Amino acid sequence: MNFPILTFLTFIPVVGMIVILFLKKENIKGIKYTALIATGIQVILAVFLMGNYNYSLGGINDASSFQFVELFRWIEIHDFPWIGTIKIDYFMGVDGLSTPLVLLTAIITFIATLSSWTIDKQLKGYFALFLLLDTGMMGVFVSLDFFLFFVFWEIMLLPMYFLIGIWGGPRREYAAIKFFLYTLFGSIFILLVMIGLYFSTTEVLADGSKVFTFNILEMMNTANYTSDGILSPLNPNNWRFLAYIGLFAGFAIKIPMFPFHTWLPDAHVEAPTPISVILAGVLLKMGIYGILRFNYPIFPEITQQLAWYIGLFGMINIIYGALAAMAQRDFKKLIAYSSISHMGYCLLGMAALNTMGISGAILQMFNHGTITAMLFLIVGVLYDRTHTRNLDDFGGMATQMPIYTGFVTVAFFAAIGLPGLSGFISEIFVFLGAFSYDTIRIIAIISTLGILLGAGYMLWTLQRVYLGTLKEKWAGLKDLDRREYLMFIPLTLIIIFLGIYPSAMLDVMNTSVNTMVKFMQDSQMFFSSFGG
């Protein structure tokens, strides 16, 4: 067996967590550096993964073209009453859909660790939970077994709850509970659909017997559905539509999609900076990822039916988020709403159901991850120094903190989608894709308003906080220190690099996206033979 890189990627943080739990509470340095080393190793592994990734393999529905696969039986119970054999696999692997997100998770977590340096309350507990969260996130992106996926999905939830609820701002408990309940609410739908799918698909074992399966790839193969399975396309009572909606809603909460988005601003405002960075940088991607990984290939026929609505919600997210951002007074809340707007582009791109749109959506996830992470760090840097986030309190920061403002300018213009920076490529791909699909062309046209509104609120913020004359009370503020440089420089380089050479990321996902589009198109024919 090869080096199980995905297992290492996923569980290195847990190792770090265990080490931290054994460390003394007073050993602040030891705790911090353990976390930094754990996430640092993760970055190295993720880069190694990228370096050895074979661009020509598609993945999606074909187990043999997934890479770095680890597959063994995790749970197997024979002769279980009512069901028979229960089998759950430890099945991990990556394709072009997940590889960019694995890299993103590693990078963002590392930078969030750096950003956690300023945390001074109960460090031991903080970093332990932080690393556990890391494991959950990584696991979500590499699992190919629904059950395993769900386990990681739920693992994420608890540390996040505590990280917001204990280390957050004044309304932290409200925000934490809101986040927790919202996500849990979504999880229930995912769980239901998971069980429904489990009892509808079978897998043939080596000995020829058929057992129910949690394997996602098997769920994509229509031949595996039992004729009476509740979510089988052969079943005349078509529950698949409802299942699709349920699953979609479960994931949509994470995106977050209008109207399930209000937990996000609260969570962001209350969360400490590094947690905001992770929340925006990684957690929001799970919704889109889940839809692309589950909804799209498992329910291709319903995806086709609902593409227009997905695009519509994308449009609403884009415009609604942008308008809501414009009215905010709290810097962090503004960035939170801008996140909602930017995630709308992902939905719009996905709805295009073609290569450009879906590639654009995945790229947008990556770019939004880096750009918005940087935006939250920017707010964090300012908050650390001034202890306020009210936009009206600032002004003229550019004269006091010129280097910091330089990074701010890059991040803001990247968020606006300036060519030469990464955000532009994903936006233009999303629009090219959506415009190519005549069903959602009008939606795409209206959505272009988003880039106008985006420029509006971003430049307005830039003006209010950084331009103008410096307020006297901020005259003593220091520019960035070395640790902060270390957070900003890698992100800036990624943003510029992907703006100039987007192929570095597009090539990774290209084969997989093509495979998915092709697969969905082919299954379209299969489903149309059922008249639905």
Binding flag, residue 420, another protein (CB under 8 A)? yes
Site string for another protein, 356-375 (x = CB under 8 A): x--x----------------
Residue whose CB is less far from another protein, 197 or 513: 513
Cα-based distances in Å from 164 to 158, 216, 383: 10, 32, 17
Site for another protein in 62-91 (CB under 8 A): none
Residue 233: asked if its preceding bond is cis (omega within 30°), the reply is no
Q: Is the Cβ–Cβ distance between 513 and 358 less than 8 Å?
A: yes
Beta-ladder partners of 203: 211
Please select the residue that binds another protein; options are 117, 456, 480, 497, rule is CB under 8 A: 456
Residues that contact another protein, how many (by CB under 8 A): 57
Helix (H) and strand (E) counts in the chain: 22, 4
Residue whose CB is less far from another protein, 30 or 468: 468
Residue whose CB is less far from another protein, 34 or 355: 355
- State the SS3 of 421-456: CHHHHHHHHHHHHHHHCHHHHHHHHHHCHHHHHHHH
Positive or negative torsion for Cα 306, 192, 73, 53: positive
Please select the residue that binds another protein; options are 424, 474, 488, 527, rule is CB under 8 A: 424
Nearest CA-CA partner of 131 in 105, 151, 150, 149: 105
Please select the residue that binds another protein; options are 32, 87, 172, 178, rule is CB under 8 A: 178
Q: Give the H/E segment covering residue 480.
A: none
Residue whose CB is less far from another protein, 202 or 422: 422
Site for another protein in 512-531 (CB under 8 A): 514, 517-518, 521
- Cα–Cα distance, 83 to 60 (Å, whole number): 29
Residue whose CB is less far from another protein, 159 or 433: 433
Q: Which stretch binds another protein (CB under 8 A): 63-71, 203-211, 307-315, 391-399?
A: 391-399
Please select the residue that binds another protein; options are 162, 383, 435, 527, rule is CB under 8 A: 435
Q: Measure the CA angle with vertex 251, ends 293 and 376; round to 5°.
A: 105
Binding flag, residue 169, another protein (CB under 8 A)? no
Nearest CA-CA partner of 484 in 384, 357, 356, 412: 384
- Cα–Cα distance, 296 to 306 (Å, whole number): 11
Binding flag, residue 54, another protein (CB under 8 A)? no
Binding flag, residue 510, another protein (CB under 8 A)? yes
What's the min distance (Å) between Cβ of 515 and another protein?
9
Residue whose CB is less far from another protein, 147 or 429: 429
**Could you give phi then psi for residue 169, rounded to 5 degrees?**
-80, -160
What's the min distance (Å) between Cβ of 432 and another protein?
6
Site for another protein in 393-412 (CB under 8 A): 396, 398-399
Please select the residue that binds another protein; options are 259, 390, 478, 489, rule is CB under 8 A: 259
Please select the residue that binds another protein; options are 106, 194, 298, 353, rule is CB under 8 A: 353
Positive or negative torsion for Cα 431, 436, 437, 440: positive
Site for another protein in 468-497 (CB under 8 A): 468-469
Binding flag, residue 308, another protein (CB under 8 A)? no
Residue whose CB is less far from another protein, 27 or 524: 524
Binding flag, residue 506, another protein (CB under 8 A)? yes
Binding flag, residue 343, another protein (CB under 8 A)? no
Binding flag, residue 288, another protein (CB under 8 A)? no
Token pair, residue 69, equals 């696969």
What's the min distance (Å) between Cβ of 288 and another protein?
20
DSSP 366-391: HHHHHHHHHHHHHHHHHHHHHS--BG
What's the min distance (Å) between Cβ of 455 and another protein?
5
Cβ neighbours around 165 below 10 Å, total: 18
- Angle at which helix 422-436 crosses helix 402-416, to 10 degrees, equals 10
- Cα–Cα distance, 72 to 84 (Å, whole number): 20
Q: Is the Cβ–Cβ distance between 284 and 255 less than 8 Å?
A: yes
> Which residues of this protein are in contact with another protein, per CB under 8 A?
178, 181-182, 259, 261-263, 320, 323-328, 353-356, 359, 396, 398-399, 413, 418-420, 424, 428, 431-432, 435-436, 444-445, 448-449, 451-453, 455-457, 459-460, 463, 466-469, 502-503, 506, 510, 514, 517-518, 521
